[in-house]
């Protein structure tokens, strides 16, 4: 295969640039032509496709966000628009596509492959760590560290005012960010979408902590659990401490990628090019037990998650006391 394209799609994640850089540099080193697609599938439909050289990926490894830009493109669910995108790729002789994004982006790539014969490789780029078939996604580690930084700051003020702070973090379907932040940041409570916990449990935990003389509580709440303000309202009826909510929101997406994310993205980007060079496609790249692995791309929605979140959740509860 001589010509490949790379795009970032779905929500941006720190480390996406490192992945794009690796794809471009490794492909160029192998004598391939590399094309960048701007604005994800939207740019593919609107023909925002350009040939990349080394200068396009120079100085981007430490930058958050994505230099290729990203966008949602609902039209891509319609085969008519996928045909337009396919034509734009084919007229340049592009045969392989690397998409960095979440499972929605993989679905788009899978359809493009099945309908128009492209070889596609998906790289997991999302802060939520919610992609099946990989232990870690590109961007998760950086985001976790951003949350930990905010937690430390919030703890200072929470202790000074003896408050309970509910800290809402990202994670619509997966509680990984909230749970890992609890484990790494010494959180005092955690609510995640995978495990239903009655508000009474949390209230009991907070009262117990205060009985022990603790001056503050930082409770991590994954956004998928529901409105943090509603949880605050319910909690206020059950505890006597002052409860405040903080929504970290889009701050979590930004920032220079961590060393871990850069290395992960770089190795995955290189692997994607190797796969395409060998004529392989229809796969996603993951990391499992510290090894790069591949799965059929549909594993992201048909497979089963390896991570036993309940075990870590129980550990977190023990440490929250």
CA of residue 7 relative to chain centroid, distance: 15
For ligand ATP, the closer of residues 111 and 292 by Cβ is 111
The HSE-up count of residue 57 (CA atoms within 13 Å, CB side) is 26
CA of residue 271 relative to chain centroid, distance: 19
Q: Which residues contact 146 (CB under 8 A, 6 or more apart)?
A: 248, 251, 252, 254, 255
Q: Which residues contact 96 (CB under 8 A, 6 or more apart)?
A: 1, 3, 4, 5, 118, 119, 120, 121, 276, 281
165's enclosing H/E stretch is strand 163-169
Min separation Cβ 164 and ligand ATP, Å: 30
Give binding residues for Mg(2+) as ranges.
103
**Interatomic CA distance for residues 3 and 241, integer angstroms:** 61
For ligand ATP, the closer of residues 10 and 286 by Cβ is 10
Catalytic residue among 12, 128, 217, 312: 128
Q: Which residues bind ligand ATP (CB under 6 A)?
A: 9-11, 41, 72-73, 76-77, 101-105, 107-108, 111, 126
For ligand ATP, the closer of residues 103 and 232 by Cβ is 103
Min separation Cβ 73 and ligand ATP, Å: 4
| Closest chain position to ligand ATP (CB) | 104
Q: Say if residues 98 and 297 touch (Cβ distance below 8 Å).
A: no
Min separation Cβ 299 and ligand ATP, Å: 14
Give binding residues for substrate as ranges.
126-128, 163, 170-172, 223, 244, 250-253
**Interatomic CA distance for residues 189 and 166, integer angstroms:** 9
Of the candidates 13, 38, 36, the residue with the CA atom closest to the CA atom of residue 25? 36
Give binding residues for ATP as ranges.
11, 72-73, 102-105
**Interatomic CA distance for residues 192 and 188, integer angstroms:** 14
Is 128 noted as a catalytic residue in this protein?
yes
For ligand ATP, the closer of residues 99 and 228 by Cβ is 99
Q: Say if residues 139 and 125 touch (Cβ distance below 8 Å).
A: yes
Min separation Cβ 116 and ligand ATP, Å: 13
Q: What residue has token string 């690397």? A: 98
Q: Say if residues 137 and 126 touch (Cβ distance below 8 Å).
A: yes
Min separation Cβ 260 and ligand ATP, Å: 18
What token pair was written down for 238? 């059950």
For ligand ATP, the closer of residues 246 and 297 by Cβ is 297
Q: Which residues are catalytic?
A: 128
């Amino acid at each position: 295969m001589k010509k490949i394209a790379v795009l970032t799609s779905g929500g941006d994640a720190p480390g996406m640039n490192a992945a794009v850089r690796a794809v471009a540099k490794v492909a160029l080193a192998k004598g391939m032509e590399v094309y960048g697609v701007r604005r994800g599938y939207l740019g593919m439909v609107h023909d925002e496709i350009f040939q990349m050289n080394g200068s396009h990926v120079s100085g981007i490894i430490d930058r958050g966000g994505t230099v290729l830009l990203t966008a949602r493109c609902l039209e891509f669910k319609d085969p008519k628009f996928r045909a337009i995108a396919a034509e734009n790729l084919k007229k340049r002789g592009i045969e392989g596509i690397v998409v960095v994004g979440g499972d929605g982006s993989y679905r788009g790539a899978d359809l493009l492959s099945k309908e128009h014969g492209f070889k596609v490789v998906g790289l997991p780029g999302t802060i939520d760590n919610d992609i099946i078939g990989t232990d870690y996604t590109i961007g998760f580690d950086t985001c976790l560290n951003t949350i930990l930084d905010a937690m430390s700051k919030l703890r200072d003020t929470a202790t000074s005012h003896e408050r309970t702070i509910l800290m809402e973090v990202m994670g619509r379907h997966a509680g990984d960010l909230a749970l890992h932040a609890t484990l790494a940041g010494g959180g005092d409570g955690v609510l995640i979408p995978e495990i239903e916990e009655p508000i009474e449990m949390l209230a009991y935990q907070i009262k117990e902590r205060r009985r022990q003389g603790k001056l503050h509580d930082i409770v991590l709440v994954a956004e998928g659990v529901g409105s943090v303000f509603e949880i605050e309202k319910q909690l206020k009826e059950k505890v006597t401490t002052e409860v405040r909510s903080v929504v970290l929101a889009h701050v979590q997406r930004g920032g220079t990628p961590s060393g871990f994310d850069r290395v992960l993205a770089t190795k995955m980007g290189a692997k994607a090019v190797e796969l395409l060079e060998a004529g392989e496609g229809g796969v996603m790249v993951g990391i499992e037990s510290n090894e790069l692995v591949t799965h059929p791309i549909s594993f992201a929605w048909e497979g089963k998650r390896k991570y036993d979140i309940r075990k870590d959740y129980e550990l977190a509860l023990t440490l929250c006391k």
